[in-house]
C-alpha cells in the first residue's frame, strides 16, 4: 500500500477535517459563526464585501 492510498482513506464527515474555507479550501482558522465557513485570512479580505464593519 502506498502512502497516497492510505492518507485519505477514511471519510471525513465530521470534525475539523471535514470543514474547509469556501474561498481558498484552507482547513485551519475557520470562522463558522453565522454559517460563514471562511478562514480568518479570507475573512479579513472579504469582510467589507460581506457587510461587516470594524467597531472600536
**Is residue 20 packed enough to be buried (19+ CB in 10 Å), middle (13-18) or exposed (0-12)?**
middle
Question: What pLDDT is attached to residue 11?
Answer: 83
Question: What pLDDT is attached to residue 2?
Answer: 72
Tens of pLDDT along 7-48? 777 888 999 989 999 999 999 999 999 999 999 999 999 999
Query: Which domains does the chain possess?
Result: 3-50 (4.10.830.10)
Question: What pLDDT is attached to residue 28?
Answer: 94
Per-residue burial over 25-47, b if 16 or more Cβ lie within 10 Å, else e, is: eeeeebeeeeebebbeebbeeee
Cell of 26: 484552507
pLDDT at 6 over 90: no
Secondary structure E strands in 1-56: 30-31, 38-39
Question: What pLDDT is attached to residue 53?
Answer: 94
Amino acid at each position: 500500500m502506498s502512502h497516497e492510498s492510505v492518507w485519505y482513506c477514511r471519510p471525513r464527515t465530521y470534525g475539523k477535517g471535514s470543514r474547509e474555507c469556501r474561498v481558498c479550501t484552507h482547513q485551519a482558522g475557520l470562522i463558522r459563526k453565522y454559517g460563514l465557513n471562511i478562514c480568518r485570512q479570507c475573512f479579513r479580505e472579504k469582510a467589507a464585501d460581506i457587510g461587516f464593519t470594524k467597531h472600536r
